[in-house]
Amino acid sequence: MTTGERIAVLGAGQMGNGIAHVFAQSGFAVTMIDVSSDALTRGRSTIAANLDRQSKKGTLPAGDKDAILGRVATSTSMDAVGDAAIVIEAVTENRDLKFKIFADLDRQAKPGAILASNTSSISITEIAARTQRPELVIGMHFMNPVPVMQLVEVIRGLATSSVTTTRVLELTKTIGKTPVEVQDYPGFVANRVLMPMINEAVYCLMEGVGSAESIDTVMKLGMNHPMGPLALADLIGLDTCLAILEVLYDGLGDPKYRPCPLLKQYVAAGWLGRKSKRGFHSY
């Protein structure tokens, strides 16, 4: 895929605007689509603020910001996917929503366009089955924050073709990221390993083994993690963490993945982490 082709990103939340940012920075024309015009406005401001930060750090030549932002068009209509060579979906982590969106995308995207999902845990095979082009459906799991993190987990569904996989692996390298190809099992690799650790940290908090600060400090200083598991959960979004644990629990049927009741309570209270200014820590 070349920079002459357009990329559509569905969802302008923390992941969607990050994905739009890295493609625009690599020279691609991007259309960022969201049902909420507020989310699009916030998404564009986040891209602008992150580009400023890169300029200050000296990782982006001064003066590139306007050209990069100029490559990001926005729309509240899914019709805008019509001229994209690849659509990357990054909407809320909800199975039924993603299933409906892929059935719609299949009708609206041009023939031959790749349909990728940034899902953290939902089956690519099941998403692909909602379309008439399962060979062109693939997982492209970016890490948060997208402009900073190197990895993209590329998930091959049962029907994903080798041609689609090769094109997505190459595209990932074109934007300066490192792809790792994995198979389609609940949570793939990243969240299959990460979420049980986060969940266990929440159990430690619930049982009073330590305070949020103590638990995070043990993991930072003791295991050399750049941030503690509870701070990381706040960054990911506690609603997203809960949704991923539910997929692991349902999909693998092992009680070790049962979401901690305290995590459920926080989500029920609307304490979703950084995005709501309150999670295990306050922001």
* Interacting residue with ligand NAD among 8, 9, 14, 74 (CB under 6 A): 14
* Interacting residue with ligand NAD among 24, 72, 86, 91 (CB under 6 A): 91
Find all residues with CB under 8 Å of 82, minimum gap 6, and list them: 108, 109, 110
Q: Contact between 35 and ligand NAD (CB under 6 A)?
A: yes
In whole angstroms, give the CA distance from residue 150 to residue 82: 29
Helices (H), 142-257: 162-174, 190-206, 212-223, 229-236, 238-252
Q: Contact between 139 and ligand NAD (CB under 6 A)?
A: no
Given 17, 118, 123, 191, which residue is catalytic? 191
**Which range of residues in 140-148, 167-175, 212-220, 246-254 is near ligand NAD by CB under 6 A?**
140-148
Nearest to 196 by CA among 235, 236, 265, 244: 244
141 is catalytic: yes
Q: Contact between 195 and ligand NAD (CB under 6 A)?
A: no
Q: Contact between 229 and ligand NAD (CB under 6 A)?
A: no
DSSP secondary structure, 247-276, as one string: HHHHHH--GGGPPPHHHHHHHHTT--BGGG
191 is catalytic: yes
Asked if residue 246 lies in contact with residue 259, where contact means CB atoms within 8 angstroms, the answer is yes
Q: Contact between 75 and ligand NAD (CB under 6 A)?
A: no
Q: Contact between 25 and ligand NAD (CB under 6 A)?
A: no
Q: What does DSSP say about strands 137-142 and 151-156: parallel, antiparallel, or unpaired?
A: antiparallel
Q: Contact between 155 and ligand NAD (CB under 6 A)?
A: no
* Interacting residue with ligand NAD among 157, 179, 237, 259 (CB under 6 A): 237
Within 10 A of 179 (CB to CB), how many other CB atoms are there? 18
Cβ distance to ligand NAD smaller for residue 27 or 151: 151
Q: What residues are annotated to the active site?
A: 120, 141, 153, 191
Binding site for ligand NAD (CB under 6 A): 10-16, 33-36, 39, 90-93, 97, 101, 118-120, 141-142, 144, 236-237, 240
